[in-house]
Structure 1
Amino acid sequence: MSAETLRRAAEKITRLCAEPRDLVSLWQESTEVLARAVPHYWTPCFYTLDPASLLMTSHFHHGLDEFPREWLVSEYYADDVNQLVDVVRSKSGIATLHEATNGNPASSPRWHRNMVMGGDQELITRLRTRSGEVWGALALYREPRAPIFTDHEKTFVQSVAPLLAEGARAALLLGQAREPDCADSPGLLILDHNGDVESTTPGVERWLAELPDGDWDSGRLPSSVLTLAGRTLSMAEHPHRGDIAVSRVLSRSGTWVVLHGACLSSTTAPRVAVIIEPANPARLYPLLMSAYGLTEREKDITRLVLRGASTSEIAVDLVLSAHTVQQHLKSIFDKTGVHSRRDLVGKVFFAHYEPRLRDNEQRARDHHPLRGEPWPQANHSA
């Protein structure tokens, strides 16, 4: 593939990810671009992952409306290579099944599963924002006897991965703002090119009241919103940069709030969507507490276990001894009724994340916004 083709494809993905849209539309339109830049078998498989746990919350694969449960069991219980969490945590954030098996993919159960669908080669890359949050993963496949993925193709995929991550994050926030389900759901307002409010989602007034120097009742928007909107409009004039307008603001109540700005496509004057959300929402924490009664330290360790961290990595991250980590793990296993880290990951996924993944599959079929957070209620029958 020529350098010019890859450059145009990267610019197209930059534009797609900078314009707020629902997640399925983003994946569908990105698929068309990827097909021209990196030839592959059938269609990509897009995943969203919960940044707090790195567990799967949705997948989109045209023609595969329901992800087989046995594949999920293999992903979270089997001893195999090229699993999502391993690729996501790797230094490069990208891997192929051929590389992971030293050129012998038939040694991997994953390869045999892929071959049932006709895919011999598998390339996975993480979708991580420039700020370091992982919002998903992308998998591409090639049929038997097709050329191996080249270094140029892998470099291209790596270059657009942060853009796709930002696009996924914005799409999930946009969907939740349009269909809020809790008090901390994001707020959305649309501004015209003069900074005047065109429309809002329910409850956005509460978010605006939290921001300094604004007065919703008198029609005065907070300066942080207007500044972000101005930056967004300015950045829209240079889409090749691939930046997303984001700002962090200390609210009147003393908590941090994050604002995201993105331009909306329009045949007339440009418009800006501003999404407001709490900084670092930790929905995983109350879920673990309510379901299993974990202490704060046990929740911290469980979060790192879910993310694939080793005992030594947990010890360094939390400034604990390896022995103390092991003692906490024993308590966590007792409370959750498991006997190993792998069982813990599997139990949390199938109790709290598979229901979300299945709900998102139905949402996609019904053309409703997808959700990125774990399922709010424990499903102990899983």
Structure 2
Amino acid sequence: MQCAADKITQLCAAPRGLIALWQDASEVVAGVVPYFWTPCWFTLDPVSLLMTSHHHLGMDEFPGEWLAAEYYEDDVQSVPGVMRSATGLSTLHDAAGGDPSRSPRWRRNRTLGGDQELIARLRTRSGETWGALSLYRAEGMPMFTESEKSFLAEVSPTLAGGARRALLCGQAAEPEYSDSPGLIVLDDQWDVESVTPGVDRWMADLPGGNWDRGELPPAVITLAARALRSAEDRDHLGEVALSRVLSRSGSWVVLHGACLSSTGRRRIAVIVEPAHPSRLHPLLMSAYGLTEREKEVTTLVLQGASTSQISAELSVSAHTVQQHLKSIFEKTGVHSRRDLVGTVFFHHYEPRFRDNETRALADRPLRGGPWPTDRRR
């Protein structure tokens, strides 16, 4: 198992396409946790915990009724439910008390030959959920073991980080926003090998250096050196170097550095991104006119927080939370928390989910986060 975990660490460290990452990771997982047919991988927006993409070989388009069931159906297990759970890992048989036949989800899985299903949350050690993994087993296959569950729990933070970097690389290759991430690739002599669109702005905004004269900012060189040293340390292969830098414009940016190869002449990739790239709050304001406090309450509802949890998080009374929810329901035209989650998903995330299906077929980078309210951005 340790060999497989190390392999996943190496796969996830280097910036690469998301579909390629999922495919390679599937092969490694299969060696430890055998499954039926193929896994289903999802990406999620860490702010709302709503789905933004899926990858399931042989299923280019996720059935609409299945997607609706994830958010509206009352079942013993769902991807959103596991994402909001305490453990972040669930099997359908365990959730159904050993008798999954009463589960609509189980009956849907049976139409494709599946019997058992295990769902694992992909959450970084810093607490951000970037994806989910569903594994299936056909009738007659052994039940998922505690050892297999432990392995998935061990590698889930690594897979989450890999998903995040893959999404960042996609945004760098095809910028969607004015502050989309930038990617710069250096050789082991710190010479620039390649850059993505928009890197000029990032390099000019980082303190020190002179991009016009080919002088890299010190933060980039320092991070690249750390990434290179990690690649030379057998005990830390696959680690990603991170740093947080205050830019000249006064905003915080995050740099990720990873070595692209462990043999031959090494190259270092450095990704630069905004420190807080959340798109949910502007969307909620522009679409529904929510106040700042109502946006905070809505975000917590999407994440599955109870009234008491929202009360504690925002330091307000439960009565105040209920008053905010009443106003939110009126503005969004819903009558319950479940309807609120479903409305936000199908109005602002399903378009992203479907666009990513098209992108996957065209071998284009996948996107994370909600669908932009202004497509001119």
The answer, yes or no, to whether TM exceeds 0.5 is yes
Within the alignment, does 1:118 sit opposite 2:113 as a pair? yes
Task: Tell me if the contact between 2:231 and 2:262 (Cα under 8 Å) persists in the aligned partners.
Answer: no
Residue in structure 2 matched with residue 3 of structure 1 by the alignment: none
State the Cα distance separating 1:101 from its structure 2 match: 1.4
5+ residue gaps in structure 2? none
Q: How many residues align?
A: 374
Within the alignment, does 1:271 sit opposite 2:267 as a pair? yes
5+ residue gaps in structure 1? 1-5
2:157, 2:137 → 1: CA distance?
Answer: 23
Task: Tell me if the contact between 1:352 and 1:378 (Cα under 8 Å) persists in the aligned partners.
Answer: no
The letter of the residue matching 2:358 is Q
Residue in structure 1 matched with residue 184 of structure 2 by the alignment: 189
The letter of the residue matching 1:109 is P
From 2, 8, 19, the equivalent of 2:3 is 8
* Percentage of matched positions with identical amino acids: 66
Q: What TM-score, normalized to structure 2? A: 0.96
Within the alignment, does 1:67 sit opposite 2:81 as a pair? no
1:280-330 residue CA offsets vs partner (Å, 9 max, x unmatched): 212011111111111111111111111111111111111111111110111
State the Cα distance separating 1:239 from its structure 2 match: 6.1
Between 292-301 and 209-218, report the one with greater CA deviation: 209-218
2:368, 2:277 → 1: CA distance?
Answer: 12
From 103, 106, 110, the equivalent of 2:98 is 103
Within the alignment, does 1:372 sit opposite 2:368 as a pair? yes
Between 69-78 and 204-213, report the one with greater CA deviation: 204-213
1:280, 1:117 → 2: CA distance?
Answer: 40
1:238-295 residue CA offsets vs partner (Å, 9 max, x unmatched): 4664532111111122211011112113763100111101012120111111111111
| Cα gap change, 1:238 to 1:85, in 2 (>3 Å) | farther
| Cα gap change, 1:364 to 1:239, in 2 (>3 Å) | farther
Residue in structure 1 matched with residue 216 of structure 2 by the alignment: 221
Task: Tell me if the contact between 2:254 and 2:272 (Cα under 8 Å) persists in the aligned partners.
Answer: yes
1:374, 1:86 → 2: CA distance?
Answer: 19
State the Cα distance separating 1:92 from its structure 2 match: 2.3
Within the alignment, does 1:358 sit opposite 2:361 as a pair? no
1:103-158 residue CA offsets vs partner (Å, 9 max, x unmatched): 11112221111111111111111111122111000010111121110111111111
Q: Where in structure 2 are the equivalents of 1:278-357 lying within 5 Å? A: 278-357=274-353
Residue in structure 1 matched with residue 230 of structure 2 by the alignment: 235
Task: Tell me if the contact between 1:51 and 1:133 (Cα under 8 Å) persists in the aligned partners.
Answer: yes
Secondary structure of the equivalent of 2:142? coil
Query: Which runs of structure 1 show a deviation greater than 4 angstroms over 4 or more consecutive aligned residues?
Result: none
1:137, 1:50 → 2: CA distance?
Answer: 11
Secondary structure of the equivalent of 1:86? helix
State the Cα distance separating 1:360 from its structure 2 match: 0.4
1:216-235 residue CA offsets vs partner (Å, 9 max, x unmatched): 12222111111111111111
The letter of the residue matching 2:370 is P
Residue in structure 2 matched with residue 198 of structure 1 by the alignment: 193
